[in-house]
Chain A
Amino acid sequence: MAEGHHSPLEQFQVHTLVPLKIGGVDVSFTNASLVMVAVAVFITVFMLAGMSKRAVVPGRFQGAVEFFHDYVHGLINENIGAAGRKYFPFVFTIFIFILFLNLVGLVPSSPTSLVFTVTSHIIVTFAMAAVVFLLATVVGFMHHGVHFLSFFVPKGVPAWLLPLMVPIEVMSYFIRPITLSVRLFANMVAGHVMLAVIGGFVFSLGAAFFIVPGLIPLAAIVAIFALELLIACLQAYVFATLTCIYLNDAIHMAH
């Protein structure tokens, strides 16, 4: 892998900052916890400060806050419709939290710094996806009762195919939290590993052959960084959109 003693996976290492234990369970405050708290505080301050003037004609700052609001509003309107209004705060929180967790992970830094990509941890993305999955399932049963189970019976399929189709439908339903979480996790890990490896090339090539050859991977890393910025936003969008689609399936049972 990379040169020297720095592994490109080192950036994913969680460190305990403040050791804590509740009832024998380790709940230590870690670098990941710190980033989560910092991002949550940042989002809250951003939202509060942006809306502090409550201007009828928004300035740039308030316009930015309203942009996120309108963007998630649009997502819900497109994918769910009026019935999705109730879930707006939920989808908004998921979207903006994942977006800023992804972006803060891209702040250029050394692996030993406090910059950390929380969304590159499968346990985090899986927990989020599981909450989305559970919420969608509960909403489905709340809206349709036991009838929600007919979601697994595709319409217009010949009866003799059902023994095959129903297990497929059930499987594709229960695989949702896994695909949802792995998509975000894998994208983040792949991007950050690539950045770390090519970043290592910049240093090792530059050190070995008098700087100039290092410029090639440097140019590549600039391009990849731009791509990673796109992916950071895109994956937050994809996660929020799929949340909307799962909620829409539960509310409208559209197939």
Chain B
Amino acid sequence: MPQFDPTFWAPQLFWLVIVTTVLFLVMWKVTLPRVDAVITDRQDRIAGNLQKAETLKGEAESALAAYQKSIADARAAAQAEHAKAAAAIAAESAKREAVFGKRLGDEEAAAEANIAAARSAAMAQVKPIAIDLAQTITEKLVGTKVGADAASSAVEAAAKERA
């Protein structure tokens, strides 16, 4: 086997030492630090981004809480406003209803008084007519004249009977 022929051991070792030494130095001082730097940078960025995401998430959560609180506040304020307005409207309507009711009552009373007055006036006019009618009818049917007093008392009695 050529491997066991010592002729080329010296050049093999010589070049192996040179090449591996140079390769080792290049890897150690030049290339590996670059890879290391990139990987470290990436890990830092990932850690930084995670942290940033964490704080952003916290901010978003607090913003959401603030938003929900403002919504609840607005709702409560609206409800209070609504209740106030409803109370005011109810009070106003009660007031108007009272005024209207009073006016209605007054007008009703006045109308009733008018009606009563009209009725008594009418009744007052009905009696003389009845008396007159009674005298006339009696004269025509019976041929006797009835005195005004008798007729009046007869009409009174009839009116009492009907009532």
Given contacts A12-B3, A13-B2, A56-B38, is CB(A30)–CB(B16) below 8 Å?
no
Contact B24 A90 (CB under 8 A): yes
Q: Mark B1-33, 1 if CB is under 8 A from A, else 0.
A: 111100111111111110110111011101110
Could you tell me which A residues sit within 8 Å of B by CB distance?
A: 9, 12-14, 16, 20, 22, 25-30, 32-33, 36-37, 40, 43-44, 47-48, 51, 54-56, 58, 62, 65-66, 69-70, 88-90, 92-93, 96-97, 118, 120-124, 127-128, 185, 189
Q: Tell me how many residue pairs across A and B have CB atoms closer than 8 Å.
A: 125
Q: List 22 A-B contacts (CB under 8 A).
A: A9-B1, A12-B1, A14-B12, A30-B12, A32-B12, A33-B15, A43-B27, A44-B23, A44-B27, A47-B27, A47-B31, A47-B32, A65-B35, A69-B32, A69-B35, A69-B36, A89-B28, A90-B28, A92-B32, A93-B20, A93-B23, A128-B16
Q: Which of B80-138 contact A (CB under 8 A)?
A: none
Q: Determine the distance from Cα of A90 to Cα of B38 in the docked complex, in whole angstroms.
A: 20
Given contacts A51-B31, A89-B32, is CB(A28)–CB(B19) below 8 Å?
no
Q: Determine the distance from Cα of A27 to Cα of B23 in the docked complex, in whole angstroms.
A: 19
Q: Determine the distance from Cα of A90 to Cα of B4 in the docked complex, in whole angstroms.
A: 28
Tell me the minimal C-beta distance from A68 to chain B in angstroms.
9
Residues in A with CB closer than 8 Å to B26 are: 44
Of B15, B35, B37, B41, the residue contacting A27 (CB under 8 A) is B15
Contact A37 B16 (CB under 8 A): no
**9 smallest A-B Cβ distances: which pairs?**
A89-B28, A47-B31, A33-B15, A14-B8, A27-B14, A36-B19, A40-B23, A93-B24, A69-B35
Of A26, A55, A58, the residue contacting B10 (CB under 8 A) is A26
Of A14, A32, A48, A93, the residue contacting B28 (CB under 8 A) is A93
Q: Determine the distance from Cα of A90 to Cα of B29 in the docked complex, in whole angstroms.
A: 11
Residues in B with CB closer than 8 Å to A62 are: 38
Tell me the minimal C-beta distance from A40 to chain B in angstroms.
4
In the complex, residue of chain B having the shortest beta-carbon distance to the beta carbon of A120: B3
Greatest chain B CB density within 10 A among A9, A97, A189 is at: A97
Contact B12 A124 (CB under 8 A): yes
